Structure 1
């Protein structure tokens, strides 16, 4: 990470607007603050109800901005002239956008002299859209990363300015990969900003032939589809952790899955002529399910209304529900 002594005056003199909302964005804002950049305004989504009490809660970006005495703006949208004036009145040279959650109209994108740049959690043009981390895991990608791009009116379609990659490990969940990207994103952002203000970045158009879309996750997708392979299902479990969590049904009881793995080398179980979704073995080592290809072993679960637990604890309390040979939906 570049420290403040290494930031060129060309960047320190720029008036920067930061726009972001969740913790991922706050970690990038923290890096800009630490580098002593001239942040003239912070845009974040309005306070939202959160928690069981539905109490209005400020975003992580807002809390960080207020902690450092930065001006905060929270428009519902940026379509109205009065909202857009909040941006234009700041006379910014550059706008940095990280998981803001609001669409920036063309008029706003054109306000800063150097335009608006975005930090995206994939190696574009693969996984444009809302859920790049989850889709990369589920698809079995071997690597992902951060792309810094110049924003335009399309959905993650702008020219690429900087990329930084990292491997996706076999045990990565969306939560762990999210944090890894949050750790490297600020470094990529600062290095891109330095190069941008020095005129050293050459924008690179995205290849339309390599585009894939990371559509928003749905709870319906989270239900295990036993017609998939064990490896696909194991990746689904990791991709949907911590939200919305993969699950299967036992009668009317929903069982969320925290940990599972694909097993290819259990020939005795694999050779059984039973339907996909059939429980082949149930003991303290896990629940073993027949899939389209291979065995899915589930080891950590969370029945509705309970806390996460190892399968051994589940069988102690609900063993009658998990008879070997039973087919699950």
Structure 2
């Protein structure tokens, strides 16, 4: 990490223990490492802003884990293996110094879980809110990174896990919904990146569901030049989401923060993919079909009528002020 005078102790206290061999003990302005032989690098980045991507009283331990996991989810959608990450933090003056103890502990726990380490980054001060940005590096076999632009008419629309828990978890934390077991809040705080699925030769396209199922499926449709139809009754729900009831269906399908994978799967690969998912302990559900036609998503109710939502999901422009969900 770049280290202006006075920041050496901060870096050493909170981040040096997270550094891997390529980070050079965070004492230089760059990392030096050798990617795995014969592999292509995959690089992506996500930022989290206090008051937009997390609540002021969210535990810093969970914020560290979420920051890493939302980036790991992007790697999972491309079928990539994690390698390491760079991180930038912009710190407001009123943030307690011990906040980063929990934050770095959360990162350390997930580094051990997912097998990667910190390579470097930067620390700055800010007069605005706390800003956390992470750039993650992964690797894939040459030519096997899964893209968003390969969905074809007739492919099934499949999702991992359950949909809507993260958004309902935010509603619980904001006092709009009961969460007696804490399950929904935990799903909001700590996503489960679906790493380890061998996607490259089984799916035509993939994306992780971060901005809402309907909106992210729309991204696949636009990039691939196809439409999609989803049956709302097939979208998998957790027990806690089912208790919330039908009144929360729109929030589940458009709220975001799921970090599940949304896949375009050809019929001849379905059985193989289901076996691979079962071996990885990941639930996988078909919820619809890609179709010829305009690049739009149609969500059908049980009676076949098309559901109309106020918004398909989170917008990084129009929703930039206020906690997402």
TM-score of the pair, normalised by structure 2: 0.25
Q: Could you say which structure has the larger radius of gyration? A: 1
- Choose between structure 1 and 2: higher strand proportion: 1
Q: Which has the higher contact order (CA 8 A, sep 6+)?
A: 2
Q: TM-score of the superposition, structure 1-length normalised? A: 0.25
